[in-house]
Amino acid sequence: MEINERIKYIGVEDRTTDLFEGQYPVPDGITYNSYFIDGEKTAVMDTVAEGFEEIWLENLKKASGGRAPDYLIVQHMEPDHSSGITALMETFPETVIVSNAKSFPMMKQFFGEDYPDRRIAVGDGDSLDLGSCRLEFITAPMVHWPEVTLAYDSTDGVLFSADAFGRFGISEQDGEWDGEAARYYFGIVGKFGSQVKKLLDRVAGLNVTAICPLHGPVLKKDIGHYTGLYGKWASYQPENDGIFIAYTSVYGNTKKAAELFGKSLEEKGRMVISADLSRCDMSQAVSNAFRCGTLVLATTTYNGDIFPPMREFISALKERGFRNRRAAFIENGTWAPRSAKVMEEMLSGCPGMEFARTKVTLMSALTDASEEAAEALAQELCGAPGGEN
């Protein structure tokens, strides 16, 4: 696939991995993107995951016509992109690695070699002249590893964005980007919002015509859509005013309450997403919580605490800097319900949270009184945040 007359896609598709990074389900697969740049001098942008080296080297040879690349540019040392370094350096003994100085110790740690005689260390503002185009390097520490270094082809406005703007899935359809890109972002990069914002500020000063990430499709149209979403995500602002109901249920009674509550909200015209935390993909639940303006948590008291998947979920949100949301609680307990208190305490350290005044308590199962409380909470959430109705 040609990105432009100088840049060709040489990445691979992984349709076999079930859990990316050991925790994120990828039912639609994932791509490990790599690019060949022919600017008279030639460069390869990053490599691929273990097991895909052979097909990737074939792609490279087709794109390059068999020429040895002058440079291998390593934007990021995580093994889903760096596992082909050894194969390329052995296949092409003349190739020189260009990367952040912090990458080389990691290279030695992962692969036992750091190529002291075949490397160029680059930092922020450095550039690499390929002849008919020039790459400018932009360091992006902690987006989402410390050594991340993007490259911008200032001749054609092509941004090689490392993991930023990456997406799970193999489909090329840009229209399917938002959901799986959000799940990727909040799962993997979300903790580092301030660092992503710094990067976006840099990118805003460039004339970007295409974004080439390390996962998912090359983004060529409507660049503002992608940078706009990233801006919202990085600043922890909700993407919509939907209500995400995340629940757990031991015998089905908390689930019934969550469903009744969701139905009432929908009847009031609100967009509702619900998930059973014991069964859903946790990374999808995390993404939903960050994208929606309101979070409703419903769970049982369990061992004097809360049901374990709910604890895991709230911890996952906190680890990623969850903030600036309205939250409400539905608790269930047969003899000493206290899960609302525990959940609120867990979220109270998150900045900018607003907690609903109405709490819903079930003693084992729904009653007229708890249904009325749920209705009161639904009415409260359908008012403006901080409002009285």
Nearer CB in complex with ligand FEO: 92/145: 145
Smallest distance from the beta carbon of 30 to ligand FEO, in angstroms?
9
Alpha-carbon gap, residue 190 to 194, rounded angstroms: 10
Which residue, 81 or 326, has its beta carbon nearer to ligand FEO? 81
Residue 144 or 255: the one with the smaller Cβ distance to ligand FEO is: 144
Residue 32 CB, shortest distance to ligand FEO, in Å, is 8
Least separation in angstroms between residue 300's CB and ligand FEO is 36
- 164 or 306, CB closer to ligand FEO? 164
For residue 78, the minimal CB distance to ligand FEO (Å) is 4
Q: Are strands 30-32 and 127-129 parallel, antiparallel or unpaired?
A: unpaired
Q: Closest Cα to residue 294, out of 383, 168, 371, 195?
A: 383
How does DSSP assign 131-183, residue by residue?
A: BS-EEEEEE-TTSSSTT-EEEEETTTTEEE-TTTT--SS----GGGHHHHHHH
**231 Cβ neighbours under 8 A, 6+ residues apart:** 197, 200
Min. distance of Cβ 344 from ligand FEO in angstroms? 34
Q: Could you tell me the smallest distance in angstroms from the CB atom of residue 320 to ligand FEO? A: 15
d(Cα 212, Cα 11) in Å, to the nearest integer? 11
Q: Which is nearer to ligand FEO, 144 or 183 (CB)?
A: 144
Q: Which amino acid is at 211?
A: I
Binding footprint of ligand FEO on the chain (CB under 6 A): 76, 78, 80-81, 144, 163, 214-215
Is residue 307 within 8 A of residue 251, CB to CB? The reply is: no
Q: How far is the CB of 43 from ligand FEO (least distance, A)?
A: 19
Nearer to ligand FEO, 151 or 214 (CB): 214
Write down the least CB distance from residue 150 to ligand FEO, Å. Answer: 13
Q: What are phi and psi of 168, to 5 degrees?
A: -70, 160
Count of residues making up the chain:
389
- Sheet strands side by side (includes 158-160): 127-129, 134-139, 149-153, 158-160, 210-212
Instruction: Give the pairing type, strands 35-39 and 41-45.
Output: antiparallel
For residue 268, the minimal CB distance to ligand FEO (Å) is: 41
∠ Cα 155 160 164 (to 5°) = 145
| Separation CA 289–CA 186 (nearest Å) | 10
Residue nearest to ligand FEO (CB): 78
**Residue 77 or 272 having the CB closest to ligand FEO:** 77
Closest by alpha carbon to 43, among 75, 1, 90?
75
Radius of gyration in angstroms for the set of CA atoms belonging to the chain, rounded to a whole number: 24
Instruction: For residue 255, give the nearest of 208, 298, 284, 219 by alpha carbon.
Output: 298
List all residues 6 or more positions away from 252 whose beta carbon is below 8 Å from its beta carbon: none
The smaller minimum CB distance to ligand FEO, of residues 3 and 214, is found at 214
Of 14 and 114, CB closest to ligand FEO: 14
Q: Do the Cβ atoms of 47 and 82 come closer than 8 Å?
A: yes
Nearer to ligand FEO, 105 or 349 (CB): 105
CB of 163 to ligand FEO, least distance (A): 4
Residue 140's CB is within 10 A of a number of other CB atoms, namely: 28
